[in-house]
A and B are shown apart, each in its own frame.
Chain A
């Protein structure tokens, strides 16, 4: 499987993402944002975390105009698998590949810590190795992860099973670190090929370093 990880000025999670996917035996290529086409044979595009363009104007507002993004949009629209982590999730929202928008955390603080998440839907390639109501523990690290969508949009997400993960405590009870609507941490598009989440599965792949709960998620995209 070939994974293309896109690197923007200010991206800082590309090496972790590459390491994680190489550990899962994928062929990983870092792709510069000024390239105009994705490498031949790309099976999965990852938009990694970081602070593209210094978060100027709004998080991810400028990254969506990078030359590579036209091809990322084409790839997604043709059914290609796209994963946006943290800043990458913000990009998918700005590009309109996922619905909603990100605001500053309700606390106005940058939050960096492990957080529990509950699986809401698993009928998709990202979470099909997990069970509904499974509780996983992976790091979050963001200042603008306060997910917003209007009521109609939220209803549609639920109706189509597009809400995939919610923030919770260790017992699975909703616990909201950033003010997100309904404690939502991860969504996908209607066609289930574009996934966005604020937490960092690529930072949870070694039990020795705290958690390996990210492995099943990243693996799912290689096999699906």
Chain B
């Protein structure tokens, strides 16, 4: 089973990378862009067939290591 974890800075936490990319897109004339946020995606292959169990374990991974919950949120998707 494949677990996809998406990690993003929390709302209200300024994202310096997103801001820099936004600036670059504006310079390239993509005037419709009004915000850019950059996160990361972690793809994990697990030996588990129960979706709920896999989700629960992935949440533990996020809390312990994958995300810094002081500034980041995470979302878990099972494929």
Interface residues of A (CB under 8 A from B): 57-58, 61-62, 65, 93-94, 100-101, 103-108, 146, 148-149, 179
What is the chain A residue whose CB lies nearest that of B9? Answer: A103
Is A179 a contact of B14 with CB atoms below 8 Å? yes
CB<8 Å pairs between A and B, sample of 15: A57-B66, A58-B68, A61-B65, A61-B68, A65-B65, A93-B70, A101-B68, A103-B13, A103-B71, A104-B16, A106-B19, A107-B16, A108-B16, A146-B16, A148-B71
Count: A-B pairs, CB below 8 Å: 36
Q: Inside 8 A of A149's CB, which chain B residues have their CB?
A: 70
Chain B residues bordering chain A, tally (CB within 8 A): 13
Main secondary structure of the interface of A (DSSP, over half): loop
Which of B9, B65, B70 neighbours the largest number of chain A CB atoms within 10 Å of its CB?
B70
Shortest Cβ gap from B11 to chain A (Å): 12
Is A108 a contact of B20 with CB atoms below 8 Å? yes
What is the chain B residue whose CB lies nearest that of A178? Answer: B16
Q: Inside 8 A of B70's CB, which chain A residues have their CB?
A: 93, 100-101, 148-149
